[in-house]
Amino acid sequence: MISDIQQGAATRMGKSIESLKHEFSKIRTGRAHPSLLDQITVSYYGNESSLSQVANIAVEDARTLTITPWEKAMVQVIEKAILKSDLGLNPATNGMVIRIPLPSLTEERRRSLVKVVKNEAENGRVAIRNIRRDANAEIKEALKEKLISEDEAHSAEEKIQKITDQYIKEVEKLLETKEADLLSI
pTM (2 decimals)? 0.68
Q: Quick one: pLDDT at residue 35?
A: 75
pLDDT tens for 84-110 read: 876 777 888 888 888 888 877 778 878
CATH topology of domain 2-26+106-183: Topoisomerase I; Chain A, domain 4 (1.10.132)
pLDDT tens for 25-67 read: 777 666 677 777 777 888 888 888 888 888 888 888 878 889 8
The domain ranges of the chain are 2-26+106-183, 34-101
Question: DSSP assignment, residue 27?
Answer: S
Q: Could you tell me the pLDDT band of residue 16, with boundaries at 50, 70 and 90?
A: very high
Task: Tell me the H-state helices in the chain.
Answer: 2-26, 51-54, 74-84, 107-144, 150-183
Spatial CA neighbour of 67 closest among 88, 27, 94: 94
pLDDT of 185 strictly over 70: no
Q: How many other C-beta atoms can be found within 10 angstroms of the C-beta atom of residue 110?
A: 17
CATH topology of domain 34-101: Gyrase A; domain 2 (3.30.1360)
Q: Quick one: pLDDT at residue 89?
A: 79
Q: How many other C-beta atoms can be found within 10 angstroms of the C-beta atom of residue 148?
A: 20
Cα dihedral 115, 116, 119, 120 in deg (nearest 10): -140
pLDDT tens for 166-182 read: 999 999 999 999 888 88
**CA dist., res. 14 & res. 156, Å (int):** 19
Spatial CA neighbour of 163 closest among 4, 10, 53: 10
pLDDT tens for 107-139 read: 887 888 888 889 999 999 999 999 999 999 999
Q: Quick one: pLDDT at residue 30?
A: 65
**34-101 and 2-26+106-183 share a CATH fold:** no
Q: Quick one: pLDDT at residue 171?
A: 93
